[in-house]
Amino acid sequence: MEIVGSRWKAPSNDVVSNLPLYRSAPLLEVRLEDFELFAMDRLRVLRGISDGLSRGKKPEEMQKLVNDLWKTNMRHTLSSEVINKDIISHFVLRLVYCRTEELRKWFLSMETTLFRNRFKLESSDAQRALMAEFDLPYKAVSTSEYESIKDKLGQVARSIGQSLPTADAIFYKVPFEEVPELVAGRRVFICKGYAYVAMNQVVSLVVTQFRSLLSKALILTNRKWTSTIREEKDRLAPIVETLCMSYLGPDYSQPKEFAEISIKDIDHVAKSSFPLCMRNLFEKLREDHHLKHGGRMQLGLFLKGVGLKLDDALAFWRAEFSQKVGAERFDKEYAYNIRHNYGKEGKRIDYTPYSCQKVISLTPGVGDHHGCPYRHFSEENLRAALGKMGLASRAVEDVMDKVRNRHYQLACTLTFEAVHGASCDTGINHPIQYFNDSQKVLQSKNNPSK
């Protein structure tokens, strides 16, 4: 691993922070493999934050989660390069997520949450140094002014369950509109349009500035990337365009835990252990005896991943399609693609089953049945499908709530938990994971002694 060129320099204050503000891209030369690996490590952090937020974790739980995610994923073999990895990974993902409004919104929210929790871990002196870097025009409240309002400040502190401010407490006087979350939560004293922000609350003030700067920077990055994409179409563009859909979990290219399923068992396991996306495709295939290309790819690679051998796969698909197009046409037009997915034709690549990110990103057309039902089904159809899986009305409402907020993987996780009566703390990130976890639960119920 090699990084060459000018190193990032911390500001020359008496007290400095290791938390960058990412105001400008560093003058560094980065190897292409590090460009991608650093970004993937940071993406694991951001996706972990997203999962924590969508699960409704409390602030103290989020603080621990962010700290653990950062320590696990943002390490470097050279301690001196940790801060470089931090900055490089941020700017790579800024390129990745600047391209659409939806991507920008997600990245802005996750990076702001990450910054907030990292800022809280800084010392008071380091926090003040960061405030100085933002050039915030706020001064600490004078002793005389503090004395005149300390009773009011004490009332606010008591109302939010905090200890009373001491004589040496530091408060900043800021326009109330610059700390909207504190105002909304009634956690500050307001007088004549100004909010009196305690030192332990300045994170809200700094985060507002950070979010504003990053939001503007993402727009500018998008304009610059759009103007330079042609120059990078063969080098960076493929990485940038696929990173946001990257699957970062275990490798499911080969069946491991439940090594084989047979044709005679397939209907049973489809009903008991297929996630909704695959169950829907399987049922449509049984009903129509045909699937378009997208459906064949999604379901075919999944069946391969859960252990359906090539000969059985050919027999399974032939039995269905021959009812619609005839066995001869199946052998001429469809059998090749099945062998191709198993690495027996063409470039002989051993293709990997689609991850949740991949499935969610698909856009089915008219007559298609692939993609993610939680994203693409109408509310009526989704409710009917969930009812068919055996979900009670309360569980259906919980799933629908996550769907409305676009937390599709969490909706699938709640479905899994409702169907199996077991928790899934890691969340569902891959259809094969759903299948494997389902089989584990069912086996433990059938063989409790084990």
Binding site per annotation, positions for [4Fe-4S] cluster: 277, 356, 372, 412
C-beta of residue 295 within 8 angstroms of C-beta of residue 368: yes
Q: Containing H/E element for 234?
A: none
Edge-to-edge order in the sheet of strand 171-175: 171-175, 194-198, 189-191
C-beta of residue 112 within 8 angstroms of C-beta of residue 214: yes
C-beta of residue 441 within 8 angstroms of C-beta of residue 422: yes
Q: At what angle do helices 82-97 and 101-120 cross, to 10 degrees?
A: 150
Tell me the two tokens of residue 227. Answer: 């103007």
Backbone φ and ψ for 4, nearest 5 degrees, come out as: -125, 160
Distance CA 140, CA 93 (A): 36
Q: Which amino acid is at 241?
A: E
* Pairing assessment for the beta strands 171-175 and 3-5 based on DSSP bridges: unpaired
End-to-end CA distance of the chain: 45
* CB atoms closer than 10 angstroms to residue 428: 21
Annotated binding residues, written as ranges, equal 277, 356, 372, 412
Distance CA 248, CA 226 (A): 27
Listed residue (303, 291, 289) closest to 255, CA to CA: 303
Tell me the two tokens of residue 351. Answer: 């293709």
Task: Work out the angle at residue 109's Cα, subtended by the Cα atoms of residues 161 and 19, and round it to the nearest 5 degrees.
Answer: 75
Listed residue (122, 125, 140) closest to 198, CA to CA: 140
Q: Which residues contact 313 (CB under 8 A, 6 or more apart)?
A: 300, 303, 304, 338, 342
| DSSP label of 175 | E
Contacts 24+ apart (CB under 8 A), 71-77: 72/44, 73/41, 73/42, 73/44, 73/45, 74/41, 74/42, 74/45, 77/1
